[in-house]
């Protein structure tokens, strides 16, 4: 796999700095004037895209609605200058982000998954977790959602044990592998119900709180939902010498194309969270006019990876409270999958591309920043000379101009991982009428936690998909 260096006039990423330049990089600066739990929405959009409204009467001429008018009418939470309230105790983006890591939040969103192991053309594997919370057979068999009888954990665990592949890690709660009969049913039944595919954050998966919270709001009578767990994530083994990166667009492409081949009459929608939003946005831009996805949503995408790298590497708080924990997860992913990763696929080019060695792993255990990880593993494996070169070219801001489907983007200005919306990003959005960029003053990274321990953005996202499916012509 070789690097793809963009021409200077096509590279929209920020120009990187080499060392800390801000006061907040060197010292633990507090900004009480920015502390708040009442946020404001700011729309950034060209305001020119026309969507065709679905007509119930075939004899009536179709009418159109501007993209921003559709948002204002059907997703009023994202209307320009709309206000929202978050949990008062979590009055900064960092506090919001740290609170989201509390595993106790998952008890509020009891989602049930059936897992498919999906084999890519290159021999690698991902897992696809289908939401089964609304499946009649599962509801009946396991007492899911039954107010008069508890969830039948014993029956669920028995089936989970019988379907579990030998020597594979145990799965997260309320998740089991499908039986062969269940898989056959999914692949052969001609389903027309639209499918929402979810791409998770870095080293995350279907177990993430924000993903479960989002699924909890989606109308499962109207949509099927499945989470694509990347290679090595959500207790999915890596079986080839290939890890995920911002360029893992072929992985999404294979899943989307396969699901459409299984059920060609259904519509596909997608959601990307954080790093999964980067991969999704890159995929959408690569597909351009031929994109088979009807519409998509991204949440807290580090569009300009240079901007995010500087935030995570130099900012006093982000480098200490966010970067360390993320790189720990990345190194752990490499460590547990080392038997597969260290088997070099191309011995002739091993010196140039084979980076998954025991020596590098030993060194990685001392890493404190994600740039160290990407300098050692991701960049050289992808053919880039260093992490900064990889970030500059792989950032999805570079593929944004070619996104040709309606894309709803949600980013928080107090995101300690992504940082504020850059001028380059704002200009790119304003020059693509297909992108509706929702900038919120608060929210942190993927959090937006309210007083009832829910995520504020999940309901409007669900409403967006529901109303797009019901009101916009296919």
Active site residues: 274, 415, 445
Handedness of CA 278, 279, 285, 288 (dihedral sign): negative
Number of neighbours of residue 214 by Cβ within 10 angstroms = 27
Q: Choose among 138, 93, 92: nearest CA to 113.
A: 138
């Amino acid at each position: 796999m070789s690097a793809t260096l963009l021409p200077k006039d096509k590279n929209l990423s920020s120009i990187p700095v080499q060392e800390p330049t801000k006061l907040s990089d060197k010292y633990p600066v507090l900004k009480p004037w920015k502390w708040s739990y009442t946020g404001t929405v700011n729309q950034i959009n060209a305001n020119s895209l026309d969507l065709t409204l679905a007509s119930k009467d075939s004899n009536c001429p179709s009418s159109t609605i501007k993209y921003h008018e559709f948002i204002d009418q059907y997703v009023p939470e994202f209307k320009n200058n709309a206000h929202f309230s978050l949990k008062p105790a979590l009055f900064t983006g960092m506090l919001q982000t740290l609170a989201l890591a509390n595993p106790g939040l998952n008890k509020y969103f009891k989602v049930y998954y059936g897992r498919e192991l999906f084999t890519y053309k290159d021999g690698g594997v991902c897992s696809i977790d289908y939401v089964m919370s609304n499946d009649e057979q599962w509801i009946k068999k396991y007492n899911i959602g039954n107010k008069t009888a508890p969830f039948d954990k014993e029956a669920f665990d028995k089936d989970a044990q019988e379907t579990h592949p030998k020597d594979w890690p145990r799965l997260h709660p309320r998740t089991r592998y499908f039986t062969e009969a269940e898989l056959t049913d999914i692949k052969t039944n001609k389903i027309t119900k639209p499918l929402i595919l979810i791409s998770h954050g870095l080293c995350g998966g279907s177990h993430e709180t924000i993903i479960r919270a989002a699924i909890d709001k989606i109308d499962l009578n109207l949509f099927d939902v499945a989470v694509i767990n990347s290679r090595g994530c959500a207790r999915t083994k890596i079986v080839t010498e290939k890890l995920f990166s911002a360029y893992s667009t072929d992985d999404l492409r294979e899943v989307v194309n396969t699901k459409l081949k299984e059920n060609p009459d259904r519509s596909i929608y997608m959601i990307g969270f954080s790093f999964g939003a980067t991969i999704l946005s890159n995929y959408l831009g690569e597909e351009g006019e031929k994109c088979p996805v009807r519409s998509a949503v991204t949440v807290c995408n580090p569009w300009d990876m240079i901007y995010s790298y500087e935030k995570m590497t130099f900012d006093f708080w982000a480098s200490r409270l966010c970067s360390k924990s993320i790189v720990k997860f990345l190194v752990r992913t490499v460590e547990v999958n080392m038997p597969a990763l260290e088997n070099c696929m191309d011995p002739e080019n091993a010196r140039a591309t084979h980076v998954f060695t025991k020596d590098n792993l030993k060194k990685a255990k001392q890493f404190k920043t994600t740039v160290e990880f990407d300098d050692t593993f991701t960049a050289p494996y992808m053919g880039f000379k260093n992490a900064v070169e990889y970030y500059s070219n792989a950032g999805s801001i570079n593929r944004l101009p070619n996104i040709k489907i309606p894309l709803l983007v949600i980013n928080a200005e107090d995101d300690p991982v992504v940082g504020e919306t850059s001028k380059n990003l704002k200009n790119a959005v304003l020059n693509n009428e297909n992108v509706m960029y929702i900038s919120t003053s608060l929210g942190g990274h993927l959090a937006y936690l309210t007083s009832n321990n829910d995520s504020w953005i999940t309901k409007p996202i669900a409403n967006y998909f529901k109303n797009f499916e019901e009101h916009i012509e296919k």
